[in-house]
Amino acid sequence: MKKYKNNIYISATISTILLLVVISSILLFKFNRSIQSPVDDNHNSISDTNYNDLYSDFRKYKKTVKLHVPFTRQYPELPRGCEVTSLAMLFNYNKKNISKITLASEIKKDTTKKIVKNGQIYFGNPNEGYVGNMYSLSHPGYGVYVKPIETLTKKYFPNTTVNLTGKRFEDLKFFISKGNPVWVITNTTFKKLPTSEFETWNTKQGKINITYKEHSVIVTGYDSNYVYINDPLAERPNKKVPKQNFIDAWVQMGSQALTISND
């Protein structure tokens, strides 16, 4: 009888331990998902609450997509205006014919002057506004990142602007497959850059690493091997670049992306 009671006690103990392991695993899984899919409060990103519902059925993606987005070149007017030129293409696709020149004038600027002192570079922050001169390569300049672009986009599309920064490339495919091209930050080589291509700036918000090969394009499609883009430095739309190289370059530049949802 004593042996029987001991067996019951052991079985109950094992069951309790197993239950605690299951609960711990569930909590750990939820925690890992939260750190893999961070949401910046400054962005109109998709909430974690809706994340599973929105992206749960990747199997229904089209295997090949190539959208026809009106094409615009940044030259000759905007030699450093790839970001607003790409944004103009996105606007035009979504039935807002706002010119790249208008967007260049409206994008928020960081007017900090470039200073080099004791081997240190002091300049603006592209997360805060467009840095330097957009219109001439003879003056110091750089570009702008997604946050000011999002602010400008919301002026014209207040309820349909979706900031996808920090998401996976699969998430970009979700929108492209539904007919929504995506604005991104990448580089002019469309592959991961060596560290030698980057330099450190001192800004009012702290140090940042930048590369003068920074670039912006519209992702118009994909297939199993290639990503298709409207590159404002190219001669024609739907330029194709190797898919994995493109993803590596995009991730290296912070996985910055934005779209206008037409659902």
Token pair, residue 32, equals: 């890992």
Q: In this predicted structure, what is the pLDDT of residue 20?
A: 53
Q: In this predicted structure, what is the pLDDT of residue 262?
A: 83
Q: What is the 3-state secondary structure (H, E, C) of 41-71?
A: CCCCCCCHHHHHHHHCCHHHCCCCEECCCCC
Question: Would you say 87 and 181 are in contact if contact means Cβ atoms under 8 Å apart?
Answer: no
Cα gap 253→187, rounded to integer Å: 8
Q: What is the 3-state secondary structure (H, E, C) of 68-79?
A: CCCCCCCCCCCC
For the chain, the structural domain boundaries read 1-36, 42-109+134-194+212-260
Mean pLDDT by 10 residues, the chain (263 residues): 48 53 46 32 38 52 94 98 98 98 98 97 98 98 98 98 97 95 98 98 98 98 98 98 98 98 83
Q: In this predicted structure, what is the pLDDT of residue 16?
A: 56
Beta strands in the chain (DSSP E): 65-66, 109-110, 115-117, 120-122, 130-131, 161-163, 182-187, 198-203, 206-211, 214-222, 226-230, 239-242, 257-260
Q: In this predicted structure, what is the pLDDT of residue 18?
A: 52
Summarised one tens digit per residue, pLDDT across range 155-179 is 999 999 999 999 999 999 999 999 9
State the residue for tokens 């670039």. Answer: 215
Q: In this predicted structure, what is the pLDDT of residue 43?
A: 38
Summarised one tens digit per residue, pLDDT across range 3-32 is 444 554 445 555 555 555 444 544 444 434
3-class SS of residue 81:
coil
Q: In this predicted structure, what is the pLDDT of residue 156?
A: 98
120: left (phi over 0), alpha (psi -120 to 50) or beta: beta
Q: In this predicted structure, what is the pLDDT of residue 230?
A: 99
Output the CATH code of domain 42-109+134-194+212-260. 3.90.70.10
Q: In 3-state terms, the chain is what percent helix, strand and coil (to 5)? A: 35, 20, 40
Q: In this predicted structure, what is the pLDDT of residue 263?
A: 72
